[in-house]
Amino acid sequence: MKMLVIIFLSLYCLRVQAQVDFAQAFSDCKIPGSITIYHYNSKKWFISDTSDAKMETLPASTFKIINLLIALETGTIKDENAVVKWIGKTDTTLYGYRPDIYRDMTVKEAFELSAGWVFIELAKRIGKEKYLQYLKRSNYGNLNLTEQGADFWNFGAFAISPINQIDFLVRVYKNQLPFSKRNIGILKRVMIAEKANGYTIRAKTGWTRWEGNDIGWWVGYVTNKKDVFFFATRIIKKRSDINPEFGNCRKNITKSVLRQLNAIN
């Protein structure tokens, strides 16, 4: 895979500045995909595959980032410590296959554990009309909410590109979204995935199975003493292709590239 360092001109007009080989991380995982990184201070993009960076797919659980904001802004929940009561049944078709998550849970814990049923229940309360309003105002995704089920971020026609993911995260970082500073502050606290050696990673994983494919994401941003790096890594494989490291590869690929950029140690 040929990897390119890209300098920012606009979100949809990108110019090659130089060549950098990031292929080893994908080779080690034996899986196709792309990584898109935006260095906030220098305004440079690092993109492994420009076509893939613009291609839209389901966001899977990375949608929990904006989903949490919408739930807060609409008053569906008061804060991240709001408890969602377990609905009392386990439908693995809708809610997955991890029995440890089927219990009363705070929204913060549901975000951290990626307990999909919690956010599905919140989505039922919010309704697609309100979702569409906030998605339009946030310039998030393709706005196609035709999927009949509440879980439209995991199944159906709704989709987002890696570049759009990063554009949204930059506006989260800058507090430039149609959400209160309080609610964006709550999101930033909940998003903290790792703190170590002078840097903080705020991020969310995602994994869905749709039309015979596994689609895996890790999106977020890293802050250290002097820099901010935004990232969106997406890997896709056929479900018939067995790769037990698929889940781990989302983070392994990302961290490998971030280390090369001295974003993390």
Work out the average pLDDT over 210-226.
Answer: 96
Of the pLDDT bands very low, low, confident and very high (cuts 50, 70, 90), residue 234 is very high
Q: Given the DSSP bridges, would you call strands 213-223 and 199-210 parallel, antiparallel or unpaired? A: antiparallel
Tokens of 25: 């991380």
Residue 131 located in a structural domain: yes
Residue 89 inside a domain? The answer is yes
Catalogue the active-site residues. 61
What is the residue-averaged pLDDT of the chain?
90
Write out pLDDT tens, residues 155-164: 999 999 999 9
> Are the CB atoms for 122 and 73 separated by under 8 Å?
no
- Chain-centre distance for alpha carbon 94: 20
pLDDT at position 85 over 70: yes
Give me the CATH number covering residue 31.
3.40.710.10
Q: Any idea which residue has 């890594």 for tokens?
A: 233
Q: Which of 237, 225, 235, 226 is nearest to 256 (CA)?
A: 235
Report which DSSP code applies to 64: H
Sign, Cα dihedral of 119, 59, 27, 258: negative
- Decide if pLDDT at 92 tops 80: no
More confident residue, 217 or 16: 217
Residue 6 has pLDDT above 60, yes or no: no
pLDDT at 1 over 50: no
pLDDT at position 79 over 90: yes
What pTM was computed for the model?
0.91
In a domain, 67, yes or no: yes
Q: Tens digit of pLDDT for each residue in 52-62? A: 999 999 999 99
Up-side HSE of residue 184: CA atoms within 13 Å toward CB?
A: 15
Q: How many helices (H) and strands (E) does the chain have?
A: 10, 10
CA–CA separation, 120 vs 76, rounded Å? 12
> Residue 137: CA atoms inside 13 Å, Cβ hemisphere, count?
14
- What is the pLDDT at residue 200? 98
Confidence check: pLDDT of 28 > 70: yes
| DSSP-derived secondary structure for 14-78 | EEEEEE---HHHHHHHT--EEEEEEETTTTEEEES-HHHHH--B--GGGGHHHHHHHHHHTTSSS
| Residue 197 pLDDT | 85
Quote the pLDDT of residue 76: 98
pLDDT of residue 22: 78
- pLDDT score of 20: 56
Token duo for residue 132 = 């569409």
Backbone angles phi, psi at 119, to 5 degrees: -75, -25
Q: Which of 8-12, 131-135, 169-173, 180-184 has the lowest mean pLDDT?
A: 8-12
* pLDDT tens-digit map of 144-157: 999 999 999 999 99
| Residue 70 domain boundaries | 4-260
d(CA 186, CA 236): 31
Does 265 map to a domain?
Answer: no
What mean pLDDT do residues 123-148 have?
98
The answer on pLDDT for 11 being more than 60 is no
Structural domains in the chain (count):
1
pLDDT for residue 21: 66
How far, CA to CA in Å, does 132 sit from each of 123, 136, 259? 12, 6, 37
Mean pLDDT over 110-114 rounds to: 96
Q: By the 8 A CB rule, do 20 and 5 touch?
A: yes
- 110 or 7: which carries more pLDDT confidence? 110
